[in-house]
Amino acid sequence: MGRKPGFDKAKVNAILQALLANPDGIWLRRIAAETKLHPSTVTKYIDGALRALVDDTVLGDKKPFLRVIRLKPIVIEKLQEGKNFDQVLKYLEMVNKIRNE
């Protein structure tokens, strides 16, 4: 019996909690250290399941040497209003759908 397909909600929540605790941004390796996840796992989740929720800043011209991740301001605002992460994600998907039409 193998691993279930898709993203693990516990890992998503751990990464989001680390990002929420650092609203000015945090680098990938620091997220990995705080969540006790492997850096490649954090990268996979940031580039996949959390893409719509984060701003990603890459430092370095030809070869990036630091990636700083932070939650989008609208995400922090919605979370402070009492929404949960699933509600915020649905809201952002709806906004992106409207923009693309």
pLDDT above 70 covers a percentage of the chain that reads 96
Q: Output the pLDDT for position 101.
A: 65
Closest CA to 52 of 24, 89, 86, 81: 89
User: Residues 6 or more apart from 84 whose CB is under 8 A from it?
Assistant: none
Q: Which tens digits make up the pLDDT trace of 3-38?
A: 777 778 888 889 988 998 998 999 999 999 999 999
Residue at token pair 């932070």: 70
Q: Read off φ and ψ for residue 91, nearest 5 degrees.
A: -60, -45
Task: Name all domains of the chain by residue range, CATH numbers in brackets.
Answer: 9-100 (1.10.10.10)
- What does pLDDT average to over the chain? 85
Higher per-residue confidence, 60 vs 57: 57
